[in-house]
Amino acid sequence: MNRKIKILGIVGFVILLLFLAKLFLGRRFDSVEALQEYVNGFGIAGPLFLTAFQAFQVVVPVVPGYLGCAAGAVAFGTAAGFWCNYIGISAGSVIAYILARKYGIDLVLMMFSRKQYEKWSARIKKSRSYGLFLFAATLLPLFPDDFLCYFSGLIRMDRKKFIWIIILGKPWCILAYSIVFGLIR
């Protein structure tokens, strides 16, 4: 099954590359506005693709989420990019949690190395409150959020508590990325 998950991740990445190739193939963009005009030509498919991709990249962590945040902010603007990224990443986080609850540690160890699992398990055991730790981790950039979503499912964290932490914690880092990358626009 580990091989299947890696293949699924590679297929997702190839689909992204094909989408980007179609997006840019044969076009010369001399400004961000020209790129945005071209992306807007895809209509609702562009934002929907970004939202679905962001959910997918949490469930099958192949590329860092901030890359999608950057793409969304540049292509769709700070606000629209933020909403696509926030909805996608939050949905993917909940899906990862549910998958870990259903399939357990075997799935998590297929997605992440045993070394990473043991490293974060040890750190989490030292924390007084996993809920506060998870909330802080969702606020800060470059934390292994995807892993922590799976880990939350493993420890059978209360579903409602997990969802509230995602809803309240995820937007801030995504908003910061959206604002910074939106300045490129």
Given a cut of 70, whether residue 4 has pLDDT beyond it is no
User: How far apart are alpha carbons 145 and 50 in whole angstroms?
Assistant: 19
User: How far apart are alpha carbons 146 and 166 in whole angstroms?
Assistant: 11
Within the chain, what is the greatest distance between any pair of CA atoms? 55
- For tokens 């609850």, what's the residue? 101
Domain total of the chain: 1
Given a cut of 80, whether residue 72 has pLDDT beyond it is yes
| Percentage of residues of the chain with pLDDT beyond 70 | 82
Say which range, 44-53, 92-101, 122-131, has the weakest mean pLDDT.
122-131
- The Cα angle at residue 154 between residues 53 and 82, in degrees rounded to 5: 30
Range of the domain at 143: 2-182
Section 67-90 average pLDDT: 91
Question: Which DSSP state fits 155?
Answer: T
